[in-house]
Structure 1
Amino acid sequence: MIRRFWARHPLFTDIVVALIGLAIALTTAGPVGTDNADPGAPFHIVSMVIAIAAAASLMLRRRWPLLPYALAILLQLVMLAYPSAAGSPLLILSTYAVAVYASSRLCWIAYGAGMGAIALVGGFEVLLGAVDFLGALNALLSAAVVALVGALVGINIGNRKRYLEAVIDRSRQLVVERDQQAQLAAAAERARIAREMHDVVSHSLTVIVALSEGAAATADPERARGAMEAAATTAREALTEMRTMLGVLRDGDAEAPLAPLAPVSPYDVVASAQRAGYPATLVVTGSADLPDTAQYAVGRIVQEGVTNAMRHAPSATVIRVRIDHGEDASTVTIRNDRATPSTAPGGFGLRGIAERVAHIGGTLSAGPDGAGGWELTATIPSGTTETRLNPDSEETT
């Protein structure tokens, strides 16, 4: 409780420490039992002034711990004029402050420098005959012992203080890093869900709109009925896929999947475009041996590429989808003609494809083919240790 009180009132603590240091300094900063006990002696006046300054500087020990220590050493140098004077107790407080509020290394450096200064000045005064050898040695030993006590106690407490500060600082850093990781994970999950929803909704609605427009344009009731049934089937499939994808958002469902359970079939994508009346074709070459993530990316790339062709090239005479499976990589190419330049702001389809391809270490290129059409090419590496699926080999739709 007492320690908490001192910690909560640092200014009051500094004042009390300074007053204690002043009281001790005023009783020791002068001759003890010698004939030089005249209060008006110059050395006595100088030592008293330095003692007061050293005691007052203790209030600044937290910010400038070397200041009270330097004044305490200066006081000790002045007190060499009094052979019987003991070491100044201010050395304990000031050395302790250096160890606690600076560092252990700086404390030992300051201790060595201070004792060296006392030894040098004391030896010089011995040579001049101002003090005798035993008196100078006594002053040096007294100062060394007093300062050593302050240094040892201060280093012990200072190391504990710095350790606790380091632990607290590390805890704060861990909290910040945890919050940052949570924010990054939340942002990544939002982007994933937005990307999945865009792929599902965009493709399905494009097919449904095309089927609905075809049903409205035909005068044949049977064809109109077939188009509307196909639109209803597409809507049900999209609803099922969206429910599966959004299962991760259900509260309390610890086993909700982080991704749809099955890859999107490029054959189903092309078939739905054909049902909507678009001239889509699919060619698959080679034997596919891709991991789930890569196969899922292939399906989504085909889905988004065909959807873009249906949306931006409604009068296209051909939408060609080609998937070439090689030993090291699989290449997905989607071409269509009669691409209509769009003045609307860019959507999220190509960006979603780019994110998917980048996530699995592939490359993507998309743009006009120079003949009035559009071409999208994605290359996906096949080397991985993930679980693999084995679809059929070469097929043509």
Structure 2
Amino acid sequence: MSRWRWHGRTADAGLALAVGLVAVVGLVVQTGGIRTGAGWTALAVVLVASGALYLRRRYPVPVGLVALAGVTAYGVLLQQPGLVMLVFVVALYTVVDEGHLAVAIGLGLASVVSFAVADGYDRETSNGATFLHAGWLVAVIVGVTRNRRAYLAEARARALAAEQRVEEEARRRATEERLRIAREVHDVLGHHLSLINVQASAALHRPDPDRSEQALTAIKQASKETLRELRTTLGVLRQDGAAPTVPAPGIADLGDLVAAAEAAGLRVRTELGEAGKLSAEVDLAAYRIVQEALTNVARHAAASSAVVRVRSGPAAGDVLVEIEDDGTRTPGEPGTGILGMAERARALGGSLETGPRPDGGFRVSARLPSGEPA
């Protein structure tokens, strides 16, 4: 910011010096050399008026008045106009450019009168330069006004476009957040409620006291876990812009998922390879994908066993999460659960593949970036 400020001051000083030099040369040529008191006074007027241009951006209207006074005094002293008019043109340009159009018109009319008076002292040398001067000033005022209006219109258009981009980004973020919340609530409730449903069905269709007790115990545990995760999710959502303070589940918590699935009658084998260090987002996504896949196996696959594998992927920094079952039912169209798993993987820059296995059963395979530097 300081560099630009000094750059602007240097430019203003250079402009004032250049215009002042031209006006002084014009004065010397007009007078054939400064030899009279009027000539020396006119020189002082030129120096003061051109020096005022250094402050034209900070005080545009006062500088315009000084320039007008200088032009008038110059004409009275030498009884003819001169190149000191360049000082006034620059000052008038600045007044218009800063948005003081009414003041600029008034200054322009006053300068035309002053120029006409100075040009009319000697009828023999008067050549109608007043009209040329008036046309010059009209061109300055109209041209700068049009440029300023175009600049302001462009600035407004840019501001509007920037505001629209901000609103679109806010809508996009809000949509992503709604999808994230929907996935979390679906995964938290869907998994445990599905297990509760399976256990309740088993207890109803097999009225054995021991099995009923086991089913009720599993239902109690699943409902307890449901409430805990639901409170955790809602607690995170209530934190207004703050970082989550409640630890999210991850690969280290797969034992709880396996225990819950086995309580529902599904044998689960886990194969955990070296997957490297995972970021919190990837760790949670891997956990939710396993959770949703086991839920689908328990509800839809009519399977007796499943395998969960977590290992490093073929590409450096990737982790593979695979769930396979020995179910006998043919899967239908992808439901909300599979779509949610795919969204989780894509949101992290990964991918999800699902489909039947050649030797029977169903397979879910997710490739996720570790989220940590290799």
Partner of 1:116: none
1:296 to 275, 284, 305: 284
1:336 equivalent to 2:325? Answer: yes
8 Å Cα contact 1:312/1:341 also seen in 2: no
**Secondary structure of 1:172's partner?**
helix
1:159 equivalent to 2:129? Answer: no
What is the TM-score normalised by the length of structure 2? 0.59
Partner of 1:222: 210
How far, CA to CA, are the matches of 1:347 and 1:258 in structure 2? 32
Structure 1 spans left out of the alignment, 5+ residues = 1-98, 101-137, 387-397
Render the CA deviation track for 1:101-131: whole Å, top value 9, x for unaligned: xxxxxxxxxxxxxxxxxxxxxxxxxxxxxxx
Q: 1:176 to 1:329 in 2, by over 3 A?
A: closer
Which amino acid letter does the alignment assign opposite residue 322 of structure 2? T
Partner of 1:94: none
1:261 to 242, 248, 273: 248
Q: 1:259 to 1:305 in 2, by over 3 A?
A: farther
Which amino acid letter does the alignment assign opposite residue 371 of structure 1? D
Which amino acid letter does the alignment assign opposite residue 226 of structure 1? Q
Partner of 2:166: 178
8 Å Cα contact 1:206/1:307 also seen in 2: yes
Q: 1:295 to 1:223 in 2, by over 3 A?
A: same
Cα deviation, residue 276, structure 1? 0.7
Render the CA deviation track for 1:78-119: whole Å, top value 9, x for unaligned: xxxxxxxxxxxxxxxxxxxxx99xxxxxxxxxxxxxxxxxxx
Partner of 1:93: none
What is the TM-score normalised by the length of structure 1? 0.56
Any residues of structure 2 matched to 1:126-141 within 5 Å, and which?
A: none
How far, CA to CA, are the matches of 2:329 and 2:246 in structure 1? 34
Which aligned runs of 4 or more in structure 1 are off by greater than 6 angstroms? none
8 Å Cα contact 2:249/2:287 also seen in 1: no
Q: 1:188 to 1:258 in 2, by over 3 A?
A: farther
Partner of 1:311: 299
Render the CA deviation track for 1:183-233: whole Å, top value 9, x for unaligned: 111111100001111111221111111111122233332331221121121
Q: Which moved more, 1:285-294 or 1:190-199?
A: 285-294
Q: 1:156 to 1:318 in 2, by over 3 A?
A: same
**Taking every aligned residue pair, what percent have the same amino acid on both sides?**
34
Any residues of structure 2 matched to 1:344-355 within 5 Å, and which?
A: 346-355=334-343
Partner of 1:202: 190
How far, CA to CA, are the matches of 2:331 and 2:308 in structure 1? 22
Cα deviation, residue 247, structure 1? 2.5
How far, CA to CA, are the matches of 1:298 and 1:346 in structure 2? 19
Q: For the aligned residues, what is the CA RMSD?
A: 3.0
How far, CA to CA, are the matches of 2:250 and 2:322 in structure 1? 18
Q: How many residues align?
A: 249
How far, CA to CA, are the matches of 2:356 and 2:130 in structure 1? 90
How far, CA to CA, are the matches of 1:151 and 1:352 in structure 2? 66
How far, CA to CA, are the matches of 1:383 and 1:256 in structure 2? 18
Q: 1:320 to 1:249 in 2, by over 3 A?
A: closer
Cα deviation, residue 359, structure 1? 2.2
Cα deviation, residue 148, structure 1? 2.0
